[in-house]
Amino acid sequence: MIPLPETASHTTMRHPLINRAIFVLALVGLLIAGALWYWHSHPADIPCGGTGGCETVASSPYSRLPVGTGPPIAMYGTLGYLAILVLTFLRTLPSVGEAPRRDTLASRLVLLGAVIGTAFSARLTYMEINPEYIGAICKWCMASQVLILLILVLSITDVMQTSRGQAATSAEPKGIDK
């Protein structure tokens, strides 16, 4: 093991357990969205447990953005989960000096990604359940919706707790030895 310089801290992350949970959820989401992107982009049957809903959703023009002409929405999901994965990993790296600022920025970017991902998933879910649009349910899409929603809840908790921790730290008197 390579020793770290004296001034480097291992991490200043206040809530490593939340960050680990988000990392694991994003990894599972990356695998699901990546598989959906692959299945959508190649002539492959999407395993959906006999309901056929996944094929119906994938063949719908609403599964692409822009509608009907763009890449599959699963591509955006794959890239979003990958971004969340990278940000949660970056929070674990040791650094000197700017670690609290980097941690705060990364946790807020994870929250932003989770909000955007939840909005995309909610839009697709609405179109799936509405017979005027798709009228079929994709179990893989539902799994991704649950994952991004869990990431959203955890990232809100993380940002709120980090903000409270920073407020308490900044309220402490400076220059007084404890």
pLDDT in tens, 111-161: 999 999 999 899 999 999 999 999 999 899 999 999 999 999 999 999 988
pLDDT in tens, 34-70: 999 998 888 777 887 777 788 888 888 888 889 888 9
Cβ within 8 Å of residue 130, ≥6 positions away: none
Q: Does residue 139 belong to any structural domain of this protein?
A: yes
What pLDDT score does 109 carry?
95
What pLDDT score does 116 carry?
96
Number of other residues whose CB lies within 10 A of the CB of residue 131: 8
CATH code of residue 27: 1.20.1440.130
Classified as helix, coil or strand, 64 is: strand
Residue 84, CA atoms < 13 Å, CB-side half-sphere: 34
Q: Does residue 1 belong to any structural domain of this protein?
A: no
Cβ within 8 Å of residue 90, ≥6 positions away: 102, 106
In degrees to the nearest 10, what's the CA dihedral of 26, 31, 32, 36?
130
Q: Does residue 173 belong to any structural domain of this protein?
A: no
Q: Structural domain of residue 51, as residue ranges?
A: 16-165
Stretch 18-26: mean pLDDT, rounded? 96
Tokens at 72, concatenated: 């599959």
What pLDDT score does 43 carry?
72
Total domain count for the chain? 1
The C-alpha atoms of residue 3 and residue 15 are separated, in whole angstroms, by 24
Q: Does residue 147 belong to any structural domain of this protein?
A: yes
What pLDDT score does 126 carry?
93
Asked if residue 15 has pLDDT above 80, the reply is: no
The C-alpha atoms of residue 82 and residue 28 are separated, in whole angstroms, by 10
pLDDT in tens, 71-114: 999 999 999 999 999 999 988 887 666 667 888 889 999 999 99
* The model's pTM: 0.82
What pLDDT score does 132 carry?
92
The string of DSSP letters for 96-121 reads SSSHHHHHHHHHHHHHHHHHHHHHHH
